[in-house]
Chains A and B, each alone.
Chain A
Amino acid sequence: MSTIDQCPSTRDSVEIPEAASPLPAESGRKHWRSVEEFAGSPGFKDWVEREFPAGASELTSNTDAGRRDALKLMAASFALAGAALVPGCRRPDHKIFSYSASEPEHSIPGKPLYFATSLPTTDGVEGLLVETHQQRPTKIEGNPLHPANRGRSSARAQGEILRLYDPDRLKEVRVRVADGEKRDATWDDFTETEGQGLRRLREVHGSTGDRGRGLAVIAASRPSPTLRAMRDRLYTAYPQSAFAWWEPLDTARNQRLGTELAIGRPRHVRLNLERAACVLSLASDFTDRGEDHIRHAREFAKTRRVENAGDEMSRLYVAEPMPTPTGSLADHRYAMPPQAVSALAVEVARRVLDAGPLRRMVSSLPELDVALLEDAGVTGEMVDMIAQDLLEHAAQRPGSSLVVCGDDQPAEIHALTAAINESLGALGTTVEYAPLPSEIEADPFAGLAEVAARIRRGEITTLVVVGANPVYDAPAELGFAELFESVEETIVLDSNMSETVAAARWELKGAGPLESWGDSRALDGTIAPVQPMIAPLFAPALSEIEFLAMLAGQREPNGYELVRETWGGIAGAAPGTDRFDRIWRRALHDGVLSPSTFPSATSRVNPLRIEDAMSAFSIESPAEGELTAVFTTSHVGDGAYANCGWLQELPHFGTQVCWDNPAVVSPATAERLGLLPVGLSSDEGDLDAAYTRGQIPRARVATVRIPDGAGGTLETEMPVWIMPGAADGVVQLTHGYGRTEVGLVGREVGVSTYPLRTAANRSGVAGATLERVAGETFEIVSTQNHWSLESRTSIARALDKRWFDGHASGGRIEDKDKIYGTKRKDGGLNLAEQLGELTHTPDNVSIYTNPQNRSKANYPPPAEGQPFLSQPDFAKPPQWGMTIDLSTCNGCSLCTVACQAENNIAIVGKTEVAKGREMTWIRVDRYFVGDDLNHPDEMLNQPVACVHCENAPCEVVCPVNATVHGPEGTNNMAYNRCIGTRYCANNCPYKARRFNFFDYSQARYNGSFVGEETVFGEDGVDQRGFNKNFIPPRLREQISEIEHMKMNPDVTVRGRGVMEKCTYCIQRINAARQESKVRGIWDDPAQTAPIPDGMFQVACQQACPSESIVFGDILDPDSAVAATRDSQRSYLLLGYLNTRPRTSHMLRVRNPNRPLLEAEWGRRRELGIVSEAAYEDRMSDPLAGHGGGYGGDDHGGEDGGDAHSYFSDPSKRNEDRGYAMSLRVLGGSSMGVLS
C-alpha cells in the first residue's frame, strides 16, 4: 500500500513514478458530451472548470455597458427601495376570503384535489390526473387508469398548465374593423349584430342562403367523439359546406397506408413489447414518439432490466438517420439515411421470409444497391446475423422477435414489416393490427387541400378555423396565408394566440381543455372524459365543441350537455336515467369510460398485394453531394406549445440545444459542406474560439433547399448544428419553431420549417442541399457542456450482458474500506462498484471528525454482523434514497419537466442558458462513447440531480448554515437563510446546485423596465447596454396574476440571490409524513415502515415513463428502492470522494449479439476507424484484470495499465493527474472509462 493519497496539499512531495506523459489516447474508450470535450480544447477546459460557466457571474452581457449607467440604475433601485421601506414597516393586511353560500364540493382548503381528465390533441390522447389547489390546476400527471399512458404524461401534457396560465392568451373577443385595426368586442357583438359574425353566417350560408356552399370550416383534428358529432351537426345545418380536420404532422399516415396494403384495411400497429426478446427498429422512435410511446417505454424497460446472472434481457437493433431516445437504448445502432433503412428492411425480409411460411414472397423483393448498406457499415454478413437472431428468438418463443417500422418509412416498407412480423410469428402476440377509431382523420392534408382549392376558386366567402393554426403550419404548396387573407370573412376560435388568430377578422376566445367539457378516444378505443377544473379564466369563452354547436344553430350551447348526449349514444343509456348517471359518474371518477377499448383483432397479411407492391418498389440511392432531409418535432410538438417556457428550455435530445431548432447534420457532413460551427473547422485554426472569444457558440447559417416533391424547390435560411451519431448525408429539420404570433416566450424562437414541408415531401425527401451563407452566424445555446463532471471518470457505467452474467453471481471483492458506498450484504463491493475506482482507492478515513457532519462515516465501523445503519444517525426510518437505472433511461427528459412543474422552477431564457444559468434541478447528461467523433459507439443517458450526500461537501462550506442535513438523510436548503455566497455550488462535485442570479421567478420573462420603453436586442441587451435581467427586481415588470396561478403553493418561490437544488420533493415527503401521522400509520406496529412504500412518489419518479427512477425508504426491507439499491448494478456516482450519496445510479447492461459485435468492430478495425487496442478493449471483459473470481483486495495485480487504463489527458489539471498517478501507483488498472 502506498502512502500516496489524493490530497492536493501533499501532491508536491509525491514522487510520480512516471513522467506525466499521457497514455496512448486509444488505450481506453472516451466518454464525451460534445465536440469540444472530445477534442479536449483548452477553451472547453476553461469553461468547465468554473462552478458556473464563464460569464455566469457577470451582471451584464455586454462589457460596453458603462459603469456609470450601472450606478445610475443602482441609485434608482435604492431610491425605490427607500420609498418602499416606509410602508414596509406596517404589517401587510392579509385577507381571508371565506367561501360564499355555495362551497365547491370535495374542496378542502390546503389539500390538493385531483381530477381525472384526458387531453385530446392532434398528436394523440393522454389520460391525465390534474392536481388542483382550491380549483386551481397546478400540476399535471398521467392517469394511472388510462391505458394509453398509465400514470405518466408527456412533456406537452405537462406544459398544458403553462398554456392555461399563458399571459398572452386571448383575453377578449376582437374584431378587425374597416380601417384594418382590431378592436375589442364582445360575444354579443359576434352573435347578435345584424349582418355581422354569426347572424351573417346564418343568413348567407343557412338554409335560406347558399346552404353552405361558401362556408369552409377547418378544425383541429382531435380524437373526440363529441367534437366529431358537432361536425355532423354542422353538415346538417350547412349541407354543402367544406369541412376539414387539420393535423399538421399526421405522422401515422405511412403506417395506415402500409397496413392497408398488407391486410386490406388501414390499421393501427399495436405493440406489446412486454413479451419482446429481440426487436429491430427501422427508424422507429417507439419509446418517444406517438400516442403509445409511454406504454412502449414502460413495457420495453421491463425487458431490459436484469438483476441476476442469466436473467433474460431483450436485444434491440436500431437503424436510424438521427439519434433518438430509442436509438440510445440500442444494443446495435446503425446511423444510416432513410433509404438505407428501407434497404435494410428489404434485406432482412429476404432472409427472414425465406425461413418462414411466406417464402414465396422473397422473389418479389427488389434487388438493391448493396453499397447503400455498406456505406452505413452494414455488410451482408451482418444482415445475416441480424436476421438469424430474429429467427432464433422467434423459434425459441414465437412472437418474441419483431420488427418495428418508423413513421417516415414508405408504405411499402410498412407492409413488408407486416409480412416479416407474420413470418416471425409476432402477429397476434407482440404485434397487433388494431382497428382505427373513427375519430382519426384519414387524410388531413387532402381535406385542407380541398378547402384551399375552394378558396382559390373564390367559392368561399366565410372561413371558420377552430383550434387549428393553418396559417402557420399548412403545407407550403398551398400558400395558405395568402389564401386566408383573400377570404372575405374569417372567424377563428382559439384559447391561445396563433398566427391564424392574428390574421383573422374575428378572433374569438376559446376555453382550453382544463376549462371545458369534452371527451377523447384513444387509439385503442378507450373513451375518456375531459372535465373542467376551473371556469374559463377569461369568461365568457366557448370550447371548440360548444362553438361548433353554436355555428350549427344551437343558442346557448352547453358542453356538459353536448358530451352527455354523445355519451348517451355510446353507453346505450339516455342522459338523465339512473343507469347513465352511474356510468357517467364512474367515468368522471376514473377518467375512462369502461369498458370502451376495442377488442383485440388479428389479421393476416395478404402476400399477393405486398408482392405486387414490392416488385414495383425501388430505392433510389441519394445522389452524390445531395442530402436527404428528414423532419421531426421536439418538445414543443407541432408548435402549439411554443409559448411554454418549460418546453422551450428543455434541451433537445442528442444536441442538447434549447431555445432553437437548427438544422442538424453529422460532423462529417458539416465539415464537407463547410458548416461546422464557428471555431470548429480546421480552416479557422483553433478550437478555442467557440468558448473563449464569445460566451455563446455560434453556428453557421445555411440556405436549406428542399425539393417540394412536385418538381420545385423550397428554401429557407437557418443555422446548422452538428450531432455526433447522425448519419452522414442526412439533414434533420425540426418543426414547431419560428412562431411569430404566439406570445412573449415563443415569439421568433428558431426558424419555421413548415415553409419547406409539402404534402409530398413530409416523410422526408432526397435531394436537399445546404449552402453556407457567407459571413452569417447564429448563436446556438446548448447545455451539453454545462454542469460537466469533466476529468472525473467512471461516471456513466455500462457492461455487456456476457460479462454481467459472468460476474454477477461470482467474484467478490472485499470492501476493505468500510465507509465507502453501497456494498453487498456479504461485505463485498457489488459488481457495479467493482467497475469503478473503489477497488483502487486508498483507505480514506477522515482524520478529523467534523461536528457539522452527520454522516455515519464519522462513526466507527459497525461490529461484525451488524448492519451499517445501526449507527446513531440515519438509523431511524424513514431514510430516503433513490436509484436511477441507466439500463432503461432513454433520455426523454420528462423528469426535468415534471420537476420544473412541481418545484416552481423558473425558466431563464436563451441568453441566460448560454451562460449556464439554467435552473432545472435534474438534468439528463448524454454521453457519447468511443473514439470516433462522427460515429460514436453508443450513447448513454444519465439523469443527475442532487444526490443527497450523507457527507455533503456543500454543507461544510456554507457560512450561514443554510444547507444542512435532515435526520432522514436529505440535504436541505433553508432558502430564507441563504445569502448567496455560492460556496456550496463551488464545492459540489456533482454540479447539482442552481443559483438565482436574477429574479427569474418573479420578474416577467422578456419583460421590460417599468415606466420606460425598453428595446431589447437579439442578445437580450437593451438600448443602454444592459442585460434585461440586470434591471433591479423592483423596477422590473412582475409576472402577472395569471402566471402566479401556476405556482405550487407547497413550495417556496425562490427569489434573487438564493441557491436551490433538488430537495427530493421534500414537500411531498412532508405531506406523506403528516398524512401518515394523522391517520395513525406512523406508529402502526403492523407496518414495516412509518411511511409505507408507494404512499407518495417524487415528481421525477412519477413522470418517468420507463420507471427508471425509484425512490423510497432505504431502511424499509419491503421498499422497491431497498431492492434496487442493493442490486449488483447499483453504484454511487463519484463514490470514491466519500460523499456517500443517497442517490445511486444503476449500471447499464448491454446485450449485444456477440458475433455481430465482432463483425462490426472487426470491420472498423480493418478500415482503421478503431485501433487494435480499442478493439481488444471492447471485446474483452473489463473485470478480467481482476481475475474473475478474485478475492481479497487484489486489484488485478501490478500488471500495468494495458487494456483498461484510465483515459488521461495531456491538459489535465495537476490535481487530477496527481490523483490519477496515485491510483496508478496502487496498481490500479481499470479506473478508466469503462466498457
Chain B
Amino acid sequence: MAGLFPRWMNALPTLGAIAGLGGAVLVVTGTWYYATPDFFEVGYMPAQPDEGFNHQLHAGQLGIDCRYCHTHVEESYHSNVPSVATCIGCHGENKLDGWDTHKVGWIREAYAEDASIEWRRIHVVPDYAHFPHHVHVAAGVSCYSCHGQIAGMPEVYQAESLGMGWCLDCHRNPEANLVPPTEVTNLVWVEDEWFSKPVSEREHEGLTPAELVESLKRNPPQHCAACHY
C-alpha cells in the first residue's frame, strides 16, 4: 500500500484547502470589485441611430448650452431629448448654407415624415429609484457630476456608475459637489475652474461651497423614501 500513493500526495489536502480558500477569496473579491455598477455600467456606449449626435461638436466646439435642446431640465423630473423640430431649427434647408447636408439627411427625413428618432438610452436608474432632474439642477448639481464631460464626448458614454453608493457619496458630502447654480451647464468651466480646485479655494462671484450648502436649508435627503417610493 505504501507504494500506491507517493509521498508528496500528503500535501494535497493542505494544498486543496489553500486553493479552496484562495478560490473563495478570489470569488468574493472578484464579485466585490466586478459585480458593481462601477465595472459594468461605466463606459456603456451604445451605438446611436445613423450619424448619432456629436456632443463634442455641438456642446463643446459650438458652445451650445445644454438647455437649448434639453429644454425642460430645470422644470421637470425628466431631462427631455429634443424633438426633431429642434434639430431642424438649425439644420433646416439652407439654414447653414448647406454644409451639413451629408450628415443630417436622416433627420430631415424624419422631420418630413413626422417620425420619431429612436435614441439609445445611456443613463438608466432602475424603476424603483426616482431621480428628479429639476431639483438637482436648481440646487447646483452640475450636469458634469453625473454625466461627465459631455462637451468632450463625440459619442456619449456613461461616465459614472449611477449606483446607490455613488448617489449617497454626494448626498452625504454636498459641499464638495455643488457648483454655483448659474454655472450648472457650463461644463468646461465646472471642470477647469471649480472641481480642479480644492474645496476650500473654490469661490465664484462671492459664492463658496459652504454658502451653497447653506442655501439648501437642509442637507440632501439620505432616507430611503427620498428616492424609493
Contact = CB atoms under 8 A, between A and B. Distances in A.
Interface of A: 91, 93-103, 108-111, 876, 964-967, 970, 972-977, 1050-1053, 1063, 1066-1067, 1070, 1074, 1077-1078, 1082-1083, 1090
B83 A101 contact: yes
9 contacts: A100-B84, A101-B85, A102-B114, A109-B80, A972-B225, A1074-B134, A1077-B138, A1078-B75, A1083-B215
A385 to B, nearest CB: 54
Contacts of B229: 972, 1051-1052, 1063, 1066-1067, 1070
Given A110-B77, A1052-B128, A1070-B130, A95 B225 contact: no
Contacts of A1074: 77, 132, 134-135
B27 interface: no
Given A108-B72, A974-B228, A100 B127 contact: no
A97 B83 CA distance: 9
A966 B228 contact: no
B83 A99 contact: yes
Contacts, number: 132
B176 to A, nearest CB: 20
Contact of A110 (B72, B114, B217): B72
B210 to A, nearest CB: 16
B121 A96 contact: yes
Contacts of A1052: 127-128, 228-229
10 closest pairs, A vs B, by CB?
A110-B78, A94-B121, A110-B77, A99-B83, A972-B225, A110-B76, A974-B224, A1066-B229, A103-B83, A1083-B217
A97 B85 contact: no
B111 interface: yes
Contacts of B126: 976
Contact of A108 (B80, B115, B118, B223): B80
Nearest to A876: B218
Contact of A1082 (B75, B121, B217, B228): B217
A527 to B, nearest CB: 34
A966 B225 contact: yes
B126 to A, nearest CB: 7
B81 A975 contact: no
Interface residues of B, number: 51
Interface in B129-167: 129-130, 132-135, 138-139
Nearest to B87: A98
B92 to A, nearest CB: 11
Given A98-B83, A973-B225, 19 more contacts: A94-B124, A96-B81, A97-B116, A98-B82, A99-B83, A99-B116, A100-B116, A101-B83, A102-B85, A103-B85, A110-B72, A110-B78, A110-B133, A966-B224, A967-B221, A967-B223, A1052-B127, A1067-B229, A1077-B135
A98 B81 contact: yes
B195 interface: no
B57 interface: no
B158 to A, nearest CB: 10
Contacts of A108: 72, 75-76, 80
A646 to B, nearest CB: 21
Interface in B22-67: 40-41, 44, 46
B110 interface: yes
Contacts of A966: 223-226
Interface of B: 40-41, 44, 46, 72, 74-78, 80-85, 88, 110-111, 113-121, 124, 126-130, 132-135, 138-139, 215-218, 221, 223-226, 228-229
Contact of B120 (A95, A102, A1051): A95
A1078 B135 contact: yes
A93 B120 contact: yes
Given A110-B78, A1070-B229, A97 B138 contact: no
A975 B75 contact: no
B80 A110 contact: yes
A1067 B117 CA distance: 30
Contacts of A1082: 217
A965 B221 CA distance: 13
Task: Determine the main DSSP class of B at the interface with A.
Answer: loop
Contacts of A111: 72, 75-77
B44 A91 contact: yes
Contacts of A1050: 130
B24 to A, nearest CB: 23
B119 A975 contact: no
A695 to B, nearest CB: 33
Contact of A972 (B81, B113, B224): B224
A95 B82 contact: no
A1070 B46 CA distance: 32
A863 to B, nearest CB: 25
Contacts of A93: 46, 120
A478 B116 CA distance: 54
A473 B226 CA distance: 50
Contacts of B119: 95-98
B226 to A, nearest CB: 7
B139 A101 contact: no
A93 to B, nearest CB: 7
B224 to A, nearest CB: 4
Contacts of B226: 966, 1070
Nearest to B132: A1074
A100 B110 contact: yes
A1074 to B, nearest CB: 5
A7 B73 CA distance: 55
Contacts of A977: 224
Nearest to A962: B224
Nearest to B83: A99
B47 to A, nearest CB: 10
A964 B225 CA distance: 9
Contacts of A965: 223
Contacts of B128: 975-976, 1052
B72 to A, nearest CB: 5
Contacts of A98: 81-84, 116-117, 119
Given A100-B115, A108-B80, A1066-B229, A94 B44 contact: no
A1057 to B, nearest CB: 14
Contacts of B127: 1052-1053
B89 to A, nearest CB: 11
B156 to A, nearest CB: 12
Contact of A94 (B115, B120, B224, B228): B120
A1090 B216 CA distance: 12
Contacts of A103: 83, 85
Nearest to B118: A95
Contact of A101 (B41, B114, B120): B114
Nearest to A1051: B229
A1122 to B, nearest CB: 21
A25 to B, nearest CB: 46
B217 to A, nearest CB: 4
A411 B31 CA distance: 80
Nearest to B218: A876
Contacts of B120: 93-96
A976 B126 CA distance: 10
Nearest to A971: B225
A1207 B221 CA distance: 47
B76 to A, nearest CB: 4
Contact of A1090 (B40, B80, B82, B217): B217
B8 to A, nearest CB: 41
B181 to A, nearest CB: 11
A99 B75 CA distance: 18
Nearest to B222: A967
A96 B117 CA distance: 8
Contacts of A1078: 74-75, 134-135, 138
Nearest to B133: A110
Contacts of B41: 91
A1050 B227 CA distance: 11
Nearest to A102: B114
A975 B138 CA distance: 28
A967 B82 CA distance: 37
Contacts of A95: 118-121
